[in-house]
A and B are shown apart, each in its own frame.
Chain A
Amino acid sequence: MKLTETEVRYVANLANLNLTEEEVARMVHDLGSVLEHMDRLAGVDTNGVEPMSQVLYETEETATLRPDAERAPLGNELALANAPMPGNGYFKVPKVIER
């Protein structure tokens, strides 16, 4: 599977990622060679195989649910401590209406 520059730009757009012209050219080459390798999966017979989305193992019945008890939240001050632009107890971002 080879990728074109147009496809690379399309995917970068989906990923909200700015790429320079040089990065786009590099991605065409790098992603192309990795996808070519990935294409070998097409030849594997997976008829009747359930997809594995999580590690499963033989185990006794587990209680993976925790009691719904109150816990102290992080709090406004700590939650904002790493914000690049905090203000009035909020995260400040550019206008949301104009994309």
Chain B
Amino acid sequence: MSEQSPTAHTISSIREGLLKKAFSAAEIAREALAFAERENPKTNAYLLFSSERAMEAAERVDKKIAAGDDPGLLGGVPVAVKDVILTKGVRSSCGSRMLEHYIPPYDATAIERIEAAGGLIIGKTNCDEFAMGSSNENSAFGPVRNPVALDRVPGGSSGGSAAAVAQKTAVAALGSDTGGSIRQPASFCGVVGVTPTYGRVSRYGLVAFASSLDHIGPFARNVRDAATVLEAMAGRDPLDSTSAEAPVPNYAGHLDGDVRGMRLGVPVEYMKHATGETAALIDRSIEGLRGLGCDVREISLPATDYAIATYYIICTAEASSNLARYDGARYGFRSAASGTLSDMYRNTRGEGFGAEVKRRIMLGTYVLSHGYYDAYYLKAQKVRALITRDFTNAFRSVDAIVAPVSPFPAFRIGEKVNDPMAMYLSDIYTITGSLAGIPCMSVPCGATSEGLPVGLQILCNHFHEEKMFRLAHAFESTTN
């Protein structure tokens, strides 16, 4: 192939090369795997490489091309997958000792669709244990280093996926987002990260953390590639009753529309928390959007101050219920300390889960426990309705909302690990969109004086991904 690794390509340049017979999908797979394996020790982004699976997928793509058929939307594209998304026959650990040897007997629907579109699954990426964390420091298999600044975190929980795309060891990656786990690492690593509308992508085969909040979404190095990967995965799946019937638009085909006159809201409640350089970069981005002819105005999302409390009640409550299944009986780790059935449960869970997962199970069990349910869980569900109402009201007068992704850029590994509350507070800008279930994304908007990337967040109303991508694409062209 060329001098550079195939993983440095875009989706369209891979397609072009395949169709011109400049290279084959098998060559792409082989070189991508070799490059990713060589580069991985720098960041620990991948937990394993699925060489056999990638080579088989590449063969299928090459056969199609030889037969004169279309190689597919993602034909020959190397894709990395967060380890909470199940891959048949390829270990899926969720970054946990609990599932250290777990080999799924089936594929997630998103994985089936990526491969049906010609994508090559090259490996599974590191993440915070069961997707719980904002720094990737909660993985049982060691932290991921940010490829932009190796002493810093890549963000979390999909830190490995963001790092792989930033390090150019994959063209695109899949992550999961419950409260910002795609957008925040995307902003920390300087790549595009998309959380689609709740229900847009099937969660069948996504290991459940908080079911009313969990999403699957793509990472890529540009808006077009991210839109293409989402298009390949999205759509109704009978195996996930929350997946939406709404038809899937051709996202990548509608990126070039005019954004002149588009009404953008900037929430006053968000801007007051952003610090120094992040705030300055967001302000500059908003000026850039004005320059594109967008009509920018201030809006208010008054329930924002309650979002963190609401989110951490709901997500821990759902997590405590979802993680009850790890009991040592049917799959995963079982403690060697024997005893009664009850001892087996308690020892297995005590030894198998890490500190953050235990903390969240405890919080969730507490807020659901007798006497506290109304004050915490029920109350949080009502405040969630208020947070969602804020967005519904805002989208009556604006087409999109623009905001920071995180109050600060990537922090140093170890800097916040001993203060869970400080870590939770850093999720302020991403969890509101997650609670409302609206599509949101992070698009790179520059870097601080230390060279740390900062992301601009774009949020739109339910199923308005096309509009969100169009705005992101127009903005991206002003920053290149």
Chain A contacts to B: CB under 8 angstroms: 3, 8, 11-12, 14-20, 23, 26-27, 30-31, 33-35, 37-42, 44, 46, 49-55, 57-60, 62-64, 66, 74, 78-79, 81-85, 91, 93-96, 98-99
Q: Which residue of A lies closest to B388 (CB)?
A: A52
B359 adjacent to chain A (CB < 8 Å): yes
Bitwise, B80-97 to A at CB < 8 A (1) or not (0) is 000000000000000000
CA distance A38 to B324 in the complex (A): 23
A17's contact among B241, B329, B339, B346, by CB below 8 Å, is which? B346
8 A–B contact pairs at CB < 8 A?
A37-B308, A38-B367, A44-B306, A49-B382, A50-B382, A52-B382, A53-B212, A74-B105
- Contact present for A84 and B334 (CB under 8 Å): yes
Contact of B417 with A by CB under 8 A: no
**Are B349 and A17 touching (Cβ within 8 A)?**
yes
* A95 and B341 contacting across the interface, CB-CB below 8 Å: yes
Which residue of chain B has its CB nearest to the CB of A84? Answer: B334
For window 349-390 of B, CB contacts with A under 8 Å fall at 349-351, 353, 355, 358-359, 361-363, 365-367, 369, 375-376, 378-386, 388
Chain B, residue nearest A3 (CB): B366
A16 and B342 CA atoms in complex are apart in Å by 8
B270 at the binding interface (Cβ < 8 Å)? no
| Given A51-B385, A84-B331, A95-B341: A17 and B362 interface contact (C-beta under 8 Å) | yes
- Docked complex: B287-337 residues within 8 A CB-CB of A: 303, 305-306, 308-310, 312-313, 320, 324, 327-334
Given A23-B358, A55-B436: A94 and B340 interface contact (C-beta under 8 Å): yes
A82, B103: Cβ atoms closer than 8 Å: yes
Candidate in B197, B303, B330 with the most chain A CB atoms within 10 angstroms:
B330
**How many contacts between A and B, using CB within 8 angstroms?**
174
Q: By DSSP majority rule, is chain B's interface helix, strand, loop, or mixed?
A: helix
| Given A17-B358, A78-B105: A99 touches B342 (CB 8 Å cut-off) | yes
Q: Which residues of B contact A (CB under 8 A)?
A: 101-103, 105-106, 197-199, 212, 238, 241-242, 244-246, 303, 305-306, 308-310, 312-313, 320, 324, 327-334, 338-347, 349-351, 353, 355, 358-359, 361-363, 365-367, 369, 375-376, 378-386, 388, 420-421, 424, 436-437, 462-463
Interface of A is mostly: loop
Contact indicator B333/A84 (Cβ below 8 Å)? yes
Partner of B313, one of A38, A50, A98: A38
**Contact of A93 with B329 in the complex, beta carbons under 8 Å:** yes
Contact of B366 among A31, A33, A53 (CB under 8 A): A31
Chain B nearest Cβ from A32, distance in angstroms = 10
Which residues on B sit within 8 Å (CB–CB) of A11? 362, 365-366, 369
Find out whether the CB atom of B362 lies under 8 angstroms from the CB atom of A40.
no
State which of A55, A82, A91 has its C-beta within 8 Å of the C-beta of B199: A55
CB nearest neighbor in A for B389: A49
Are A42 and B463 within 8 A (Cβ)?
Answer: no
B133: shortest Cβ distance to chain A, in Å? Answer: 14
A38 close to B312 (CB less than 8 A): yes
How many Å lie between the Cα of A32 and that of B359 in the bound state?
Answer: 11
| Contacts A38-B312, A51-B378, A79-B105; A14 near B369 (Cβ below 8 A) | yes
Shortest CB distance B317–A (Å): 11
A8-B362, A16-B345, A17-B362 given; A44·B383 CB < 8 A: yes
Q: Which residues of B contact A53 (CB under 8 A)?
A: 212, 381
Task: Name which residue of chain A comes closest to B365, CB basis.
Answer: A15
> Which of B103, B198, B324, B463 interacts with A81 by CB under 8 Å?
B103
Partner of A94, one of B338, B361, B367: B338
Q: Which residues of the other chain, A, contact B305 by a CB distance below 8 angstroms?
A: 40
Inter-chain contacts of B388 with A (CB < 8 A) = 52
In the assembled complex, the Cα of A3 lies from the Cα of B385 at a distance in Å of 28
Residue among A26, A37, A54, A91 making CB contact with B309, cutoff 8 Å: A37
Using CB atoms, name the residue of chain B closest to A10.
B369
| Cα–Cα distance between A58 and B328 once the two chains are bound (Å) | 42
Chain B residues with Cβ below 8 Å from A82 are 101-103, 105, 330-332
Q: Which residues on B sit within 8 Å (CB–CB) of A66?
A: 238
Query: How far apart sit A81 and B339, CA to CA, in the bound complex (Å)?
Result: 24
Bound complex: CA A63 to CA B303 (Å): 33
Contacts A14-B365, A52-B388 known; A94 to B421 CB distance under 8 Å?
A: no
CA distance A30 to B327 in the complex (A): 25
Which of A17, A54, A79 gathers the greatest number of chain B CB atoms within 10 Å? A17
Specify which of B245, B350, B437 is in contact with A63 (CB 8 Å cutoff): B245
